[in-house]
Amino acid sequence: MRKPKISLRTGLATTILLCWLAPILLLVTLSGILLGNSYRRSARQEVDDAAQYAVSQVRTALTSAISDSKSVSYDGMIRSAYRSYRESANNVNLYRNVNDYLKERFSRSGNYQAVFVVFWYEQVNADAYVFGAGENGLNMMQRCQAATPGILEIMREADTQIRFILTDGDLYLARNLVDSHFEPYASIVQLLKPSAFFSPLSALGEPEDVQLQLDTLCFCFDGEDGVAETAEREAGYRYEMEADGHGLCLRVAEKEYKVWRENPWLGWITAGAALMVLPLLWLLILLFRRHVSKPVETLVEANLKVQAGERGFEITEHAPNTEFEKLFEHFNNMSAEMKTQFERSYLEQQASQRAQIKALQSQINPHFLNNTLEVINWEARLAGNDRVGAMIEALSTMLDAALDRDGRTQITLREELVYMDAYLYIIRERLGESFCVHKEIDESLLGRPVPRLILQPIAENAVEHDLTRRGGGNLWLRAYRQERLLVLEVEHDGQMTEEDRAKIAEQLANRDEVTGSVGVRNVSQRLWLIYGERGTLSLDETGHGTILARVCFPAWKEGE
C-alpha cells in the first residue's frame, strides 16, 4: 500500500515549526538541563555540608549523654548507697540518697526529659526519678514506669554495655550498675529529649526525608520532641560516624529537582519567545494560504468539476500572483478545448451509432419477411380463415417494429414485449400446440428503456436452430433486476454441439464489425454500441436440457 502524501500546507507549517520553534525549544531544553545539573551539584554540596555538620552535632550530644551514663557508674555514689542498703535494709535511706544524687547530677540538664534508677530486686523499693525543667512529673513518671519492664528485659542481657531503646516514641539510653562483684543490681535510664539531640536534622528537609540509625534503631525526628521508628532505607545520601563506639548513620533522601518548578522564570522566557514567534508564524501561514494553498485548491476543485462532467468549466477567481494567473489561463483554455473536442467526438459517435444501429436493424427485414411470407403463403394455400388475418396483423406489428418509423433506438420493455408477442404468435401458429411459451416478467420493469428488437433475434435463433427441428418445445421469457442491471433471459429446450459453441464464441468476439449476419452477433453488436462494455450477451447450456441466453445492461443510475 502506498503511503499517503501530506498536503503542501501541512508540509510548509511543519517546516516553519521546525525552523523557528525547534531551535528555541532546543535552546530552552538545553538550558534547563544545564541549569538542572548545576543545581543538583550545588544542592548535593549543600546537603553534604549540612549533613556533615548535623551528624557531627548529634554525635557530640550522644557522646555527652553516654559520658553522663558512664560517670554514674564511675563515681560510685549509687553503689555506695546500695552497699549501705544491703547492711541496713533501709529503703528510705537508699531512695533519699539516690534521689538526691540524681537531682544534683541531672536536674539542671536540658538534654533529658527524665532520668531514673530502677533496682532489679523486688525487695528493693527505692526507684528514684528526676525530671527535666518544665516537664510534667506525673505524666513523665507514668511513661517511664510503662516502659520499665521492656527496658529491664533488654538490660538483663546487656551486662555493662549501653543500650539505646526506642519505645512508644521515646528514646532511652540505659546502662547497668554493678556492685564490687560486677553483679548488676540496678539500671540507670536516661529519657533523651529529642530536640536537644536531633534539632540539627531539621535543617536537612522534611522529617520523612531524614533518617537516623543508632546501632540497630532506625527513626526519624519529628522536628519537636518526638521520634518515630521507621524501616531502614537504602536510597539517598549516607553519612556514617561513631559515637563512643556506637554506630551512627544519617540517611538523607535525594530531592527530585523540577526545572520548571524551581525556576518559574524559565517558563516565562519560553512563553515570551513563543509569543514573539507566533505572529510571524501566523503571517507566513496566511501569506502561504493566499498565494499558494488557495490557488491550488481552486485548481483541484476546477479539475474535479471537469471530471464530474462539467466540461468547459472556467476558473473565474482572480489569481494572487503571475504564476497562478498563467496556470488559470492555461486551465481555462484546456477546458474549453476539451469541451469542443468532446462535443465533436460525441456528435460523430452518435451519428456513427445511429448509422450502425439502422444498418443492423435493417438486416432483420429481408430474413424475417421471407420466413413469415412463407408461412402465410402456406396457410393461404390450405384454407382461408381468421387465423390468416391474425397472422397478418402480427406481421404488421413486426414490420412496424422493424421499419422504425419514429427513429427510436430504444423503447420501453412493455413495447418490446408487444413485438415479442406478435412474433411468438406467428411461431405458435407455425409449430402448433407443441410450442409453449412461459413468461416470468417483473411488472415494475415494464417502463424501463431497452434496445428496440433486442429479444426477437434471440428468440428467432432459438426457433430456427432448435425448436423447429424438434417440432416444438418450451420457451421461457424472463425480465428481472440485478442491482443496477436489467436482465432479460430467453431459455428454450435444446442442446449445443461443439461446433455451435465455437460459432457462438466467434460471433460474440467479433462485435465491432457490422456484417450481414442476424441473431446473436446482431444483439451483441447493438449492446456494445449503446452501452459499451457494460452491455453483455451470454449464451450457454444450463445443464438440464435447455439453452439460456442472458442479456444484461445498465438501466438505473447510482443511488436509484
Q: Break the chain into its structural domains and give their ranges.
A: 43-252, 264-351, 363-554
What is the Cα–Cα distance from 450 to 554, expressed in whole angstroms? 10
Inform me whether the pLDDT recorded for 291 exceeds 70: yes
Element containing residue 549 per DSSP (H, E): strand 546-554
The larger pLDDT score, comparing residue 272 to residue 62, is at 62
Lowest mean pLDDT across 177-186, 309-318, 350-359, 399-408: 350-359
- What is the 3-class SS of 177-200, one letter each residue? EECCCCCEEEEEEEEECHHHHHHH
Cα distances (angstroms) measured from residue 308 to each of 342, 457, 478? 14, 37, 36
Cα end-to-end span (Å), the chain: 33
Inform me whether the pLDDT recorded for 516 exceeds 50: no
What is the Cα–Cα distance from 92 to 175, expressed in whole angstroms? 24
To the nearest 10°, report the CA torsion of 245, 246, 251, 252: -80
What is the Cα–Cα distance from 199 to 182, expressed in whole angstroms? 37
Inform me whether the pLDDT recorded for 414 exceeds 50: yes
Cα distances (angstroms) measured from residue 252 to each of 38, 169, 203, 406, 546? 20, 21, 11, 107, 99
Residue with cell 432448435: 466
> Helix or strand or coil: residue 262?
helix
Lowest mean pLDDT across 24-38, 65-79, 292-306: 24-38
pLDDT digits (tens, 9 = 90+) for 418-458: 989 988 988 888 888 899 999 999 999 999 999 988 998 89
- The pLDDT, as a whole number, for residue 2 is 54
Q: Which three cell numbers, joined as nine digits, stand for 535?
A: 452491455
What is the Cα–Cα distance from 368 to 365, expressed in whole angstroms? 5
Q: What value does the mean pLDDT of the chain take?
A: 80
What is the Cα–Cα distance from 433 to 319, expressed in whole angstroms? 79
Q: What is the CATH number of domain 363-554?
A: 3.30.565.10
Element containing residue 73 per DSSP (H, E): helix 22-75
Report the range out of 183-187, 256-260, 387-391 with the highest average pLDDT.
183-187
Residue with cell 531551535: 23
pLDDT digits (tens, 9 = 90+) for 369-378: 556 655 665 6
Contact 276/53 with Cβ under 8 angstroms? Answer: no
Residue 515's pLDDT band, with cuts at 50, 70 and 90, is very low
Neighbours of 201 (CB within 10 A): 25
What is the Cα–Cα distance from 474 to 493, expressed in whole angstroms? 6
What is the Cα–Cα distance from 399 to 434, expressed in whole angstroms? 26
What integer is the mean pLDDT of 153-167? 88
What integer is the mean pLDDT of 387-403? 65
What integer is the mean pLDDT of 238-246? 87
Inform me whether the pLDDT recorded for 169 exceeds 70: yes
Lowest mean pLDDT across 10-19, 296-305, 332-341, 518-527: 10-19
Inform me whether the pLDDT recorded for 413 exceeds 90: yes
pTM, full prediction: 0.46
- The pLDDT, as a whole number, for residue 514 is 47
Compute φ and ψ for 250, nearest 5 degrees: -110, 130
What integer is the mean pLDDT of 380-399? 64
Residue 4's pLDDT band, with cuts at 50, 70 and 90, is low
Neighbours of 456 (CB within 10 A): 25
